[in-house]
């Protein structure tokens, strides 16, 4: 007979507690499992005549340990056997409670431990066992729980809720798919738009359930943080405080009430990109009594916490911490190392000659890494700019509602004490946004003047790496904009002699289209696969860059350059330029970064003005942390598109050999 994961964890926890108490000097006497009685049976009891005994109620991972019925169950077991303290846990989360019998169970203070990283082979469970026992001893001696950061406690209850609730959403989605037309159509469209077609149905359902649970969790927290700051300092249209999400509401109507209040906050303040799911998959996700009870208990737990103590920096970090790093890729997020994003943003967003606020486009926002870095950069360049002014100069676009929601949260959280009237986060395909028409309104003196052609000063992104055969809804959707590059009524890059290959992957089109949004001299900094330097479809893309940009640098990183370096990718740093003479006078640097560099050092390295001697086709620079091959862009253009990857990877003797006349093409 197979052993359930709950029973396996229960056994490990029991054994390690018992071994630790017998092997170390502690005030605890023994560990035992109580006999079955009328009230049930406590899962684990740690006995002590000195500090008081502890009851631990162990639940399955799809149960929410802070659910009121489970907390009550643990308390009742403790009362029944005369234990002074009680806790609930799963194999992921542990909650020790400080209960004196006077408070409602939802108001009980708790001490949280994350068990996800606990080493099951370590005698102390990765340090968890002594932490549990020390916390109980501290509570016994001091009468209060050990000090813990509010952010850790809130992260714990949110992460625990998500871990418990997503399997239920998975089961509901599985039962609803192909039985409810609205949900099925939204689900199929979501799969196709986000290039999840290569996943099995089970994997797609799990991904949808996890994303929906994160969306709900984040919205509940953000609503509560804002609610506590209304009507001052965050004003509302009515002048009244936002309503509680659970007070006076039955459990059966909790989901309806929550949706209504999410609509209400949009009416009273805005935050539409955060709270409005439109007609997306997440607006049609099914609910049941189990999810209603879990949501109700989460709401009560959150409202009992000091969420107003979270400032904007901590709140932004919390959203990042809530999703474990190893789960980001599984959730469909392309992870961007913050240091690399910071370097790109520093290079791309420059002080404006007229002192105006730079206007920034993030056409594939993901969870908002680039948008947040753009916010910081604008704040640095324009210290007099207010929160809303900065937000008004950033347009974030993503076809996936889930990461775009995180972008909106992260931008709004940059200054939670100021009301955010507008967030320019577009849940749309980037290729459905017309650069020739306004996508933003004009806001006040010096505000954003709309996303019209030539108005953006910078475009920064880590665009999705979607293979050409998976482009949704079709290749024409991605290629149509190439018709806008006209020469004497011809469309050379769409169907002419310089046409981009139809085998181009999505990132190629993100570059070519983003350039249409930039003003002359606007800068584009993208993280893209490096294979365009060596594959056949990359050659017409090279020619496109020669014809329309000054290619400042292509930057590649060795494995040790950044701890979290991206694999097989390179930075493309270009400037929109219609003047052929300026383009030909430009020097392109192929930079191979071998050792860790700060973002500022990387930008300084890229910005250094290098020259190529007249008697040479290229110039070499080799330092301890990097090497650079500099080539006149005019030479690159004259030689025509070809394999260029060796400028980044090959040692100098090989480059010299390849550049010499000793090599000729085979006829």
Q: CATH homologous superfamily of domain 340-659?
A: Vaccinia Virus protein VP39 (3.40.50.150)
Distance CA 386, CA 357 (A): 11
Residue pair 244/296 in contact by the 8 Å Cβ criterion: no
Checking if the pLDDT of 452 tops 50, the result is no
**CA proximity to 212, closest of 269, 291, 145, 152:** 291
Residue 564: what pLDDT?
52
SS3 of 511-533: HHHHHHHEEEEEEEEEEEEHHHH
Q: Give residues with Cβ within 8 angstroms of 206, minimum separation 6.
A: 166, 170
Query: What's the distance, Cα to Cα, between the start and end of the chain in Å?
Result: 70
As a whole number of angstroms, the distance between CA 253 and CA 216 comes to: 16
Every domain of the chain and the residues it spans: 5-148, 152-328, 340-659
Q: Residue 451: which pLDDT band, with cuts at 50, 70 and 90?
A: very low
Closest by CA position to 458, among listed 330, 371, 387, 536: 371
Spatial separation of the C-alpha atoms in residues 538 and 100, rounded to whole Å: 69
**pLDDT greater than 90 at residue 358:** yes
Bridge-based pairing of strands 587-593 and 549-557 is parallel
CA distance 183 to 421: 31
Q: 415 or 590: whose pLDDT is higher?
A: 590
Position 308 scores a pLDDT of 61
pLDDT of res. 174: 97
pLDDT score, position 508: 96
Q: Are 17 and 54 in contact (CB under 8 A)?
A: no
More confident residue, 146 or 324: 146
Domain 5-148: give its CATH architecture: Alpha-Beta Complex (3.90)
At residue 393, the pLDDT reads: 94
pLDDT, tens digit, 9 for 90 and up, residues 106-143: 568 899 999 988 888 899 999 999 999 999 999 999 99
Report field, pTM of the whole predicted structure over 0.85 = no
Over residues 100-110, mean pLDDT: 68
| pLDDT of amino acid 448 | 42
Evaluate if residue 498 carries a pLDDT over 80. Answer: yes
pLDDT score at 102: 55
Average pLDDT, stretch 51-78?
A: 91
pLDDT tens digits for range 544-568: 999 999 999 999 988 766 555 456 8
Lowest mean pLDDT among 131-140, 263-272, 418-427, 536-545: 418-427
Confidence of residue 396 (pLDDT cuts 50, 70, 90): very high
């Amino acid at each position: 007979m197979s052993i359930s994961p709950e029973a396996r964890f229960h056994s490990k926890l029991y054994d390690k507690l018992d071994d630790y108490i017998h092997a170390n000097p502690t005030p605890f006497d023994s560990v035992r499992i109580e006999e079955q009685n009328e009230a049930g049976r406590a899962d684990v009891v740690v006995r002590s005549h000195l500090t008081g005994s502890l009851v631990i109620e162990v639940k399955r991972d799809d149960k929410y340990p802070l659910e009121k019925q489970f907390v009550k169950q643990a308390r009742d077991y403790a009362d029944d056997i005369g234990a002074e303290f009680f806790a609930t846990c799963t194999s992921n989360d542990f909650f020790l409670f400080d209960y004196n019998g006077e408070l409602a169970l939802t108001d009980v203070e708790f001490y949280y431990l994350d068990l996800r990283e606990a080493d099951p082979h370590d005698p102390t469970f990765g340090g968890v066992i002594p932490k549990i026992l020390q916390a109980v001893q501290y509570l016994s001696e001091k009468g209060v729980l050990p000090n813990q950061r509010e952010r850790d406690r809130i992260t714990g209850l949110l992460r625990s809720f998500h871990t418990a609730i997503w399997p239920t959403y998975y089961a509901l989605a599985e039962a609803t798919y192909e039985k409810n037309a609205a949900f099925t159509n939204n689900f199929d469209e979501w799969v196709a738009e986000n290039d999840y077609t290569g996943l099995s149905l089970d994997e797609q359902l799990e991904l949808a359930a996890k994303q929906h649970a994160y969306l709900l969790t984040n919205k509940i927290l953000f609503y509560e943080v804002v609610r506590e700051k209304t009507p001052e300092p965050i004003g509302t249209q009515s002048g009244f405080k936002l309503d509680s999400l659970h007070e006076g509401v039955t459990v059966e109507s909790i989901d309806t009430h929550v949706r209504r209040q999410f609509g209400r906050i949009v009416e009273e303040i805005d935050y539409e990109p955060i709270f409005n799911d439109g007609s997306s998959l997440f607006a049609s996700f099914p609910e049941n009594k189990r999810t209603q009870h879990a949501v109700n208990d989460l709401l009560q737990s959150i409202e009992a916490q000091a969420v107003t103590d979270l400032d904007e920096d901590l709140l932004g970090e919390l959203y990042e911490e809530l999703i474990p790093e190893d789960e980001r890729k599984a959730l469909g997020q392309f992870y961007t190392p913050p240091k690399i994003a910071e370097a790109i943003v520093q290079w791309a967003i420059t002080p404006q000659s007229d002192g105006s606020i730079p206007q920034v486009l993030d056409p594939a926002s993901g969870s908002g890494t680039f948008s947040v870095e753009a916010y910081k950069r604008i704040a640095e360049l324009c210290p007099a700019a207010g929160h809303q002014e900065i937000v008004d100069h950033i347009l974030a676009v993503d076809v996936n509602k889930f990461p775009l929601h995180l972008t909106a949260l992260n931008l709004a959280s940059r200054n939670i004490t100021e009301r955010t009237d507008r967030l320019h986060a577009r849940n749309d395909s980037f290729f459905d946004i017309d650069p020739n028409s306004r996508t933003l309104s004009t806001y006040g003196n010096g505000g954003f003047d709309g996303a019209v052609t030539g108005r953006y000063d910078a475009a920064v992104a880590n665009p999705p790496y979607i293979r050409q055969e998976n482009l949704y809804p079709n290749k024409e959707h991605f290629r149509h904009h190439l018709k806008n590059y006209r020469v004497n009524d011809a469309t050379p890059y769409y169907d002419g002699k310089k046409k981009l290959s139809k085998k181009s992957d999505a990132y190629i089109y993100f570059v070519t289209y983003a350039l249409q949004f930039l003003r002359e001299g606007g800068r584009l900094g993208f993280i893209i696969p490096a294979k365009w330097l060596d594959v056949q479809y990359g050659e017409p893309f090279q020619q496109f860059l020669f014809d329309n940009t000054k290619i400042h640098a292509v930057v590649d990183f060795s494995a040790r350059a950044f701890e979290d370096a991206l694999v097989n990718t390179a930075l493309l740093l270009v400037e929109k330029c219609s003047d052929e003479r300026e383009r030909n006078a430009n020097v392109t640097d192929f930079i191979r970064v071998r050792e860790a560099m700060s973002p500022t050092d990387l930008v300084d390295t890229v910005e250094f003005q290098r020259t190529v001697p007249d008697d040479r086709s290229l110039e070499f620079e080799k330092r301890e942390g990097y090497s650079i091959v500099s080539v006149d862009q005019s030479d690159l253009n004259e030689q025509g598109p070809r394999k260029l990857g060796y400028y980044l990877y090959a040692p100098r003797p090989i480059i010299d050999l390849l550049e010499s006349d000793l090599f000729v093409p085979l006829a």
